[in-house]
Amino acid sequence: MSSRLVCFNPDCRAEYASTEVLYACTKCGGLLEARIDYDRAAAAGWKQLWRERRMSNAPLDASGVWRYREMLDLFDGFEHVVTLREGNTPLLPGAKAAAYGGLDHVVFKHQGFNPTGSFKDNGMTCGATQAKRLGLKRVACVSTGNTSASMAAYAATSGLDPIIFIPNGNIAFGKLSQALDYGAKTLQVEANFDQILALVRELADRLGIYLLNSVNPFRIEGQKSIVIEMLDQRDWKVPDWVVLPGGNLGNVSAFGKGLRELLDLGLIDKLPRLAVVQAAGSAPFYDYVRQDDKAHFPTVTKPETLATAIKIGDPVSYPKALLEIETSGGVVERANEQEIADAKAVIGACGIGCEPASAATLAGIKKLVAAGTMRADADVVAVLTGNVLKDPDYIYHYHTGVLKGPHGEPLTSTFGNKPTVVPNDADAIAALLG
């Protein structure tokens, strides 16, 4: 049997053709994951092949996802690929950030350099490709964030109709405006997130709309490319740690799966440890890994954080994420609003910048180093998930000293950088600048 979808539940493991339109196992309701039948004999030549493709201008080779298409061989060929030349995101050293976190060195893998400004593009290119392959005309998601921005762009560029469902009165304007710009039909529903998800599932079946929410196993496959590209950029030197923020936990699931596959194929010789950092007001996975009872997930009913991309109380991919944390010897940390805000300003002061959720990485590193979990001389790659311009209000409020936490509590502008009002007077300005 060739590449297929397999139920993630170890007691079920039902298998489905990759052409079936499914969002969960029909037998047990479990998560689905892609299983690729790798050409093991050929794998020894892939590193060189992938490196050579960087010289090519062919669209698939120019994409930092499809360049690694041997790891994404799920689509019966690649003629339906939808690409905006995603990936190709840099590794950027941050000296001030390393010092702040207590590390000798840190390198940021900045996914904010993607076409719509977040790592969601690495997955969405695969999700949209699957929609085209299935011959579906419409795609939908429930999100006000980076997922809708990304889905709208990939749908628009490939002639799919994007539909975004948003809970009424719960709108992140920076990201929603991208979705409007890319032409997504946007429906505000008088219901909460879970109710809308149920509604959309029914409509998807009835109207033949393809759902591109975060459980979609094709999106997870695409996000594997983030760690593959990172290792290619490091000439396959495996870091000690890969640190990333955790919301729905799809990304950590993708990283872990990709790394295990690379190890299995003999392309790397060890796994890096994965460190997931959650916002303290929205940290059920932090609690879950610490509790003995793994049969019950401690859902947070009212998640709270200004880092909206990780404001998720009921992360769908937690079973996969648990496996990856356990397999890699990983850890889960949490950071509060003040810690995230200050870490974000430090990343900004490196000339790098990121959205608030991304800065949870550095806040988490600082705590892990202080606790002795992470050594100061460790080789650490932190993944910045979103672009600095996703959330300009947050930045302006922080630097002008008026940023307030989810309960209206004032946060301290530890590294504030307020604009100064000056008179229209050269002497006065010269005196000020020294």
Ligand X SMILES: *Cc1c(COP(=O)(O)O)cnc(C)c1O
Residues that bind ligand X in the complex, under the rule CB under 6 A: 118, 120, 145-146, 214, 245-251, 309-310, 355, 357-358, 385-386
According to CB under 5 A, which one of 5, 6, 25, 279 is a site residue for Zn ion? 25
Spatial contact of 154 and 125, defined as CB atoms under 8 Å apart: yes
16 binds Zn ion (CB under 5 A): no
24 binds Zn ion (CB under 5 A): no
15 binds Zn ion (CB under 5 A): no
28 binds Zn ion (CB under 5 A): yes
β-pair type (107-110, 91-93): antiparallel
Spatial contact of 220 and 123, defined as CB atoms under 8 Å apart: yes
Exposure string of 108-125, with b = 16+ CB inside 10 Å and e = fewer, is: bbbbbbbbbbbbbbbbbb
What HEC string does 59-117 produce? HHHHCCCHHHHHHHCCCCCCCCCCCCCCCCCCEEECHHHHHHHCCCCCEEEEHHHCCCC
Structure tokens of 331? 């850890």
Query: Shortest gap between Cβ of 350 and ligand X (angstroms)?
Result: 18
Give one word for 236, left, alpha or beta, with left for phi > 0 and alpha for psi -120 to 50.
Answer: left
Partner from ligand X, Zn ion, none contacting 357, C-beta within 5 to 8 A by type: ligand X
Structure tokens of 366? 């600082």
Of 171 and 215, nearer to Zn ion (C-beta) is 215
Stretch that binds Zn ion, among 18-26, 71-79, 96-104, 266-274 (CB under 5 A): 18-26
Of 84 and 309, nearer to ligand X (C-beta) is 309
Partner from Zn ion, ligand X, none contacting 5, C-beta within 5 to 8 A by type: none
Partner from Zn ion, ligand X, none contacting 94, C-beta within 5 to 8 A by type: none
Question: HSE (CB half, 13 Å, CA atoms) of 287?
Answer: 14
Stretch that binds Zn ion, among 6-14, 70-78, 121-129, 339-347 (CB under 5 A): 6-14
9 binds Zn ion (CB under 5 A): yes
Partner from ligand X, Zn ion, none contacting 27, C-beta within 5 to 8 A by type: Zn ion
Query: Shortest gap between Cβ of 326 and ligand X (angstroms)?
Result: 17
217 binds Zn ion (CB under 5 A): no
Contacts of residue 169, defined as CB under 8 A and 6 or more positions apart, other chains included, come to none
Q: How far apart are CA 234 and CA 66, in angstroms?
A: 19
Phi/psi at 236 (5° precision): 70, 20
Residue with tokens 């530890």: 414
According to CB under 5 A, which one of 5, 6, 7, 243 is a site residue for Zn ion? 7
Structure tokens of 157? 């560029």
Partner from Zn ion, ligand X, none contacting 243, C-beta within 5 to 8 A by type: none
Of 14 and 203, nearer to Zn ion (C-beta) is 14
Query: Shortest gap between Cβ of 223 and ligand X (angstroms)?
Result: 7
Partner from Zn ion, ligand X, none contacting 247, C-beta within 5 to 8 A by type: ligand X
Partner from ligand X, Zn ion, none contacting 12, C-beta within 5 to 8 A by type: Zn ion
Of residues 129-158, those binding Zn ion (CB under 5 A): none
Query: Shortest gap between Cβ of 137 and ligand X (angstroms)?
Result: 26
Query: Shortest gap between Cβ of 129 and Zn ion (angstroms)?
Result: 25
Phi/psi at 118 (5° precision): -155, 170
Q: How far apart are CA 434 and CA 431, in angstroms?
A: 5
Stretch that binds Zn ion, among 23-31, 149-157, 268-276, 383-391 (CB under 5 A): 23-31
- The DSSP-derived string for 158-193 is HT-EEEEEEETT---HHHHHHHHHTT-EEEEESS-H
Partner from Zn ion, ligand X, none contacting 246, C-beta within 5 to 8 A by type: ligand X
Structure tokens of 377? 């001389």
Residue 142 pairs in a beta bridge with 165
Angle between helices 217-233 and 250-264 (to 10 degrees): 60
Partner from Zn ion, ligand X, none contacting 118, C-beta within 5 to 8 A by type: ligand X
Partner from Zn ion, ligand X, none contacting 120, C-beta within 5 to 8 A by type: ligand X
The helix (H) or strand (E) run that includes residue 176 is helix 173-181
According to CB under 5 A, which one of 20, 27, 400, 402 is a site residue for Zn ion? 27
Query: Shortest gap between Cβ of 251 and ligand X (angstroms)?
Result: 3
94 binds Zn ion (CB under 5 A): no
User: What residues make contact with Zn ion under the rule CB under 5 A?
Assistant: 7, 9, 12, 14, 25, 27-28, 30
